[in-house]
Structure 1
Amino acid sequence: MPSGSDTGQSRRGFLASTAVAAAAVAGGVPLLAACGGGSDTGKKDGTTTGKDAAKLLPAFVASTVVAPDIAPKNGSAAGFTRAIPSAELKASVAAKKGKGGALTVMAPFWGPPPASDNPYYQAMNEAIGVRATWQNQDGNVYDQKLGAVLASSEIPDVVVVPGWNLGGKIPSAINAKFEDLGPYLSGDKVKAYPNLAAIPTDAWQRSLFGGKLRGLPMPASYVTNIAPFYRKDLFDAKGWQLPKSADEFLALAKEITSAKAKVWACGDMTWTAYNMFGVLPGSDKALGWHLVDGKLVNRIETPAYLEALEWTRKLYDAGVVHPDEKTQNQGDTSLRFTAGQCLIYNNDLSHWYAKTSEQAAQNPAFAMAAMDIPGHAGGAPKLWATNPANIWAFVKKGSSKAVVEDALAIADFTAAPYGTKERMLTDYGVEGVHHTIKDGLPVKTDKGNQEVSSSWLFVASPAPYVAHPDTPEVTRAMVEWQQRMGAHTSKSSFYGMTITEPSQWTGLMNDFEQLEKDIVRGRKKVSDMQQAVSEWRTKGGDELRDWYRKLLDANGSAAS
């Protein structure tokens, strides 16, 4: 699995690591860790919304199988604070849907993949009624494998495509090489698959490619997943107050830094700066555009973007950022955080549970929390929604009805909600073989850690939820943080759309991320960014703006 470090990663690498971390924390890590387009490809670029999308999207039928302990609100995940005893687990799939067919599934995998015929895979296949053979590929170079496979004639029956791999020719290949699932799932047809019907509509909207419903989504909360974590145990002991503005953050950082004691206030805080200053998202090209006073503006053109970079640079200039962060590739920020060398860092919200669980035995006094993101001038922040799905599974074009239905049988099973027999088997394998029950909680055995694969979640997943019954207080804190941040979250003009940009403009933004890193670390000037933005406009940015504007005028906005 990729490192959780933020400082040396690209946005693409971070998205990969956090998606896998979220999947792993949901089910792949012990709860007691301390113990080419043809004529029928449809639209080759653009998107589908409004009335056209309404005809394609599956009906939504909320799941009532298990009620969460904390209901979702403001775009948050649902929360489950208790383990549900095995005897109380409910069935969400009334009857085995698979027809016994054989199919191949290609997905990214981080770490040594389990044997393809292991007892966990056998148990899943038996429960679903299929004979799935997994072709797990190295997640770190998955884009290369994906490109090669899609360019060939040997495409597996089901292929997982992460959003961070939607570059180059892959979007057009998706339109050309994968099946339209609309005849099986659009409208009321999805009701034959109750767990798929319970997937939020926003996630299905993101699954429209080339004017067709092609993807099976892994839904996510649209609330920002970047949380500024702090060492609550040390803050409480010292009486330090959480900052309520950008200026207060800098003042606090200076106060708590002691280079002589090898303690620095924070890691690189660029991503938190973007949230504090209200910068449009950079995790997806389309999300970075927004209609402002009648003009479509890109995130890099906004004053907030430059202000966020300038503020982050002040942190480096003040000497409050751990010195290893300046070179970007010097280890894992989260390790410096748990060691007490760095008191604040930002990363995916899933770190809250992962690090708390990890430190429970090593340092019982350890406590961390996520501070509420303040507005840069004080008051509430202006946050922007992220994508409601960013990983999909696709079925090979030309597949027989039987293969498509077997793929959907897998998806309906793996999209089962928490508290069901299907979810328990998917996340923990067979009781007595892959996990045991200790103090009411499922704990993976060594065999479970070796064999149980979170790759199944990539075929399809339920509506987002957080369930860590071994640390119910962390579960509640995570969900409530999302709810508070969600109350200040808006959706930009292309929220929820999967957009394929024309190929001549896909590389326009390639150099900006490195320039951002150079500016905050003092290697480049803010004026260099202004020059880069000017060049971006003349090299195609203005033309791209016009293209997006036509798209917006033709399709309308999915934002609210």
Structure 2
Amino acid sequence: MTPKAASSVSSGPSRRSFLASTAVATAAVAGGMPLLAACGGSDSGSREGTTSGKDAKKILPTYVAGNVVTPDIPSKNGSSNGFTGKLDLADLKTSVTRKLGKGGKVTVMSPFWGSPPKGSNPYYTAMNDLIGVDVRWQNQDGNTYDQKLGAVLASSDVPDIVVVPGWNMGGKIPSAIISKFADLGPYLSGDKVKEYPNLAAIPTDAWQRSIFGGALRGLPMPASYVTNIVPLYRQDVFEKEGYQVPTSADEFLALAKDITNAKAKVWACGDMKWTAFNSFGVLSGSEKPLGWNLVDGKLVYRIETEEYLEALEWTRKLFAVGVVHPDFKLGKSQATDPQTKFAAGEFLIYNNDISSWYGLTASQATQNPDFKVSGMDIFGAGGNDPIPWAAQPAGIFAFVNKKAPEAVVRDALAVANVTAAPYGTKEYMLTNYGVEGTHYTLKDGVPVKTDQGNNEVLNAYVMVASPASTLAHPDFPDIAKAQVEWQQRMGALTKKSSFWGMQITEPARYTNLSNDFEQLEDDIARGRKKIGDMQQAVSDWKSKGGDKLRDWYKKILDENGSAAD
């Protein structure tokens, strides 16, 4: 169910499509395919700023680690939990011992990629029976969800639960979240969360991200904070040709020249900009607050750094020497699927979401049995180690209507307590795979979706709340192991910037201040613009509000401290 935008963009990785891909991919695994305030924290009515420190501790749920299931590879250095064993349906654990729902009706609006099934399908019926709630889905096209979301939140007809991905929180959406959605603190803060054990097992960092306007409003989808962008490579071709995985930016360039043979229609790579940012230590661009960091007492934004220019120059050089596949140079988007040409061997290395590591393996297993993809460790530049900057520990949230009566709020939490069940439980299996025999069959410990399962068990319930970030591929357990171990190695090098983990609402006047930089990055990489154009754009950014925005962020930091400490 990975959004189409994430799998078909070939003109260079889109920040939004990668966010969509990874957030949904971390939700679950189904059928062997990845599923995809005025400054200061004490003012609960605040429309801008953040809440952290002592104010947040009063709000956050008590963390109670789950003991129902033990992962084969526990989380380390910010990694996901890993499961590498076969599934035994007879040994599945029960994490929800009593039905918490009281039989009420709850409407849910959520983004959906694909064709939504009929509301009376067996999957929805089974889930609702398990939860004890009549959930009615109002699925909306995930590719145009921001438009629908804005219209609904501007109206008086808001569903009981509304799912809002982080990449849709632009413009007036954060303000609407604060004014339209309920404070869940009376139900979840402190020890109150213990009534919902699976919600209590959600990591505190994810709950910290769920504080909006001084109140706990969101039900989070936790994520690994390790970068989700992996430099994937054709391990089978590397082994056949004797290519060595590069350990530096210079080695990568030399290898890329060695691989490329334009006459034979073989190029080294796709657009490597996002790997370059991690290699050179550029502050994260996945969310605006993550781009700020305190350096020698001064807040610095990612576009002001030397590392940013160096990464762009290195990426430009790859295009300039001709080692990048022509599709990326030409800027074709929907017309050509890069995964197809990667699988065909037209290029051997490219950035993609970590979910594609498994997705490519699974899709090629039958038709191309020699195909082997792996993720290379992020390499450093200039003799230095790479510095990947941490992503946020949650990126999709479900909110409950402020006008909902207590019975509806509790039914909504009953839904979330089931959907947040960990891998290896009966609740997880039903949430992510559906009904055995109807939606999937088990073959040698591997759940295989039926056609009905592929049509009905899609991105619905997983969007309400999820367990701690998990990687599990029963059909390719070695991939799950490799993914988690990659996250752990990269996590050991990962740094957290000053506003990591905070849910920050910027003043509306700055909303569009840095919107044009991604396009300029791509133009520079392709030789259409020069580094000097970026330097001028940064200067303009400062004078048009960047310096004032820096002061605004500095005040937040002074009053709240850093969540990354």
Shorter chain as denominator, the TM-score bin is: over 0.9
Residue aligning to 2:75: 72
Specify the code of the residue in structure 1 equivalent to 2:54: K
Q: Cα deviations across residues 211-261 of structure 1 (Å, max 9, x unaligned)?
A: 100000000000010000110000001111111111111000000000000
Q: Percent identity?
A: 67
Matched, 1:219 2:217: no
Q: Secondary structure at the match of 1:381?
A: coil
1:69 alignment partner AA: D
Written as runs of structure 1 = structure 2, the 5 A alignment for 1:301-320 is 301-320=304-323
TM-aligned CA deviation for residue 445 of structure 1: 1.1
- AA in 2 matched with 1:276: S
Q: Answer whether contact 1:46 1:551 (CA < 8 A) is retained.
A: yes
Q: Residue 342 of structure 2 contacts residue 348 of structure 2 at CA under 8 Å; is this kept in 1?
A: yes
User: Are 1:12 and 2:13 matched, yes or no?
Assistant: no
- Matched with 1:271 is 274
Aligned to 2:365, the other structure's residue is in SS state helix
Aligned with 1:280 (options 276, 283, 290): 283
CA contact (8 A) 1:383 1:488 kept: yes
Report the Cα distance in structure 2 between the residues aligned to 1:29 and 1:431, rounded to whole angstroms.
11
* Aligned positions, number: 554
For 2:44 and 2:157, the matched residues in 1 are separated by: 19
Tell me, yes or no, if the aligned pair for 1:491 and 1:559 is still in contact at 8 Å: yes
- Local SS of the residue matching 2:58: helix
Alignment map for 1:293-308 (pairs within 5 Å)? 293-308=296-311
Counterpart check, 1:85 vs 2:97: no
Q: 1:353 aligns with which of 349, 358, 383?
A: 358
Q: Distance in 2 between matches of 1:555 and 1:329?
A: 45
- Inter-CA distance 303–405: structure 2 relative to 1 (3 Å threshold): same
Aligned to 1:375: 380
Between the aligned partners of 1:351 and 1:432, the Cα distance in structure 2 is: 28
The runs of at least 4 consecutive aligned structure 1 residues that moved more than 6 Å come to none
What amino acid is the match of 2:139? Answer: N
Note the C-alpha offset of 1:332.
2.3
Cα distance in 2 between the residues matched to 1:380 and 1:88:
44
CA–CA distance in 2 between the matches of 1:485 and 1:32? Answer: 22
How far off is 1:266 after superposition?
0.1
Q: CA RMSD in A?
A: 1.6
Report Cα offsets for 1:149-195 as digits up to 9, x if no partner.
Answer: 00000000000000000001000000000000000000111011000
Q: CA deviation at 1:389?
A: 0.3
Amino acid across the alignment from 1:104? T
Q: CA deviation at 1:469?
A: 1.6
Residue number in structure 2 paired with 1:534: 539
CA–CA distance in structure 2, aligned partners of residues 474 and 27 of structure 1? 13
- CA distance, structure 2, for counterparts of residue 32 and residue 59 of structure 1: 30
Structure 1 residue corresponding to 2:440, chosen from 435, 439, 445: 435
User: After the TM superposition, which of the residue ranges 276-285 and 4-13 deviates more from structure 2?
Assistant: 4-13
Number of the residue aligned with 1:322: 325
Query: Counterpart in 2 of 1:466?
Result: 471
| 1:518 correspondence with 2:520 | no
Match of 1:241 among 241, 244, 256: 244
Unaligned segments of structure 2, at least 5 residues: none
The match for 1:412 is 417
Counterpart AA for 2:346: Q
Q: Secondary structure of 1:172's partner?
A: helix
Corresponding residue number in structure 2 for 1:28: 30
| Among candidates 132, 139, 148, match of residue 145 of structure 1 | 148
8 A contact 1:31–1:442 mirrored in 2: no
- Structure-2 separation of matches of 1:6 and 1:382: 26
Match for residue 389 of structure 1? 394
Task: Indicate if the aligned counterparts of 1:32 and 1:470 stay in contact, CA closer than 8 A.
Answer: no
Structure 2 counterparts to residues 114-133 of structure 1, below 5 A: 114-133=117-136
Greater shift in the superposed pair: 80-89 or 209-218 = 80-89
**Contact conserved, 2:233 with 2:373, CA < 8 A, in 1?**
yes
Say which SS state the counterpart of residue 473 (structure 1) adopts: helix
Do the aligned partners of 1:102 and 1:132 also contact (CA within 8 Å) in 2? yes
> What residue is the counterpart of 1:2 in the other structure?
4
Further displaced range: 76-85 or 327-336: 327-336
**Residue 440 of structure 1: CA displacement?**
2.0
**TM-score, length of structure 1 as denominator length:** 0.97
Which residue does 1:164 correspond to in 2?
167
Which letter does structure 2 place at the counterpart of 1:105?
Answer: V
Separation in 1, partners of 2:338, 2:456:
29
SS at match of 1:84: coil
What are structure 1's unaligned runs of at least 5 residues? none
Query: By how many angstroms is 1:13 displaced?
Result: 2.6
* Kept after mapping to 1: 8 A contact 2:303/2:538: yes
Q: Per-residue deviation at 1:397?
A: 0.4
Instruction: In structure 2, give the amino acid aligned to 1:279.
Output: V
CA contact (8 A) 2:292 2:498 kept: yes
- Secondary structure of the structure 1 residue equivalent to 2:349: strand
In structure 1, what is the Cα distance between the partners aligned to 2:395 and 2:71? Answer: 24
Distance 1:149 1:204 in 2: 25
Indicate yes or no: 2:556 matched with 1:551: yes
Q: Contact conserved, 1:244 with 1:379, CA < 8 A, in 2?
A: no
Matched, 1:503 2:503: no
Counterpart of 2:339 in structure 1: which amino acid?
A: S
What's the counterpart of residue 105 of structure 1?
108
TM-score, length of structure 2 as denominator length: 0.96
Partner amino acid for 1:502?
P
Measured after TM superposition, the shift of residue 62 of structure 1 is 0.8
Question: Match of 1:484?
Answer: 489
Tell me the alpha carbon deviations over residues 477-507 of structure 1, each in whole angstroms, 9 at most, x when there is no partner.
0000000000001100000011100011111
Alpha-carbon contact 2:93-2:426 (below 8 Å) kept? yes
Counterpart of 1:258 in structure 2 is 261
Distance 2:433 2:544 in 1: 51
- Separation in structure 2 between the aligned mates of residue 56 and residue 414 of structure 1, nearest angstrom: 22
Task: Indicate the SS of the match to 2:471.
Answer: strand
Query: How far 1:518 moved relative to its partner?
Result: 0.3
Indicate conservation of the 8 Å contact 1:428/1:435, yes or no: yes
Instruction: Indicate the SS of the match to 1:136.
Output: strand
Instruction: Kindly state the Cα deviation for residue 19 of structure 1 after the two structures are TM-superposed.
Output: 2.3
d(CA) in 2 for partners of 1:145, 1:284: 22
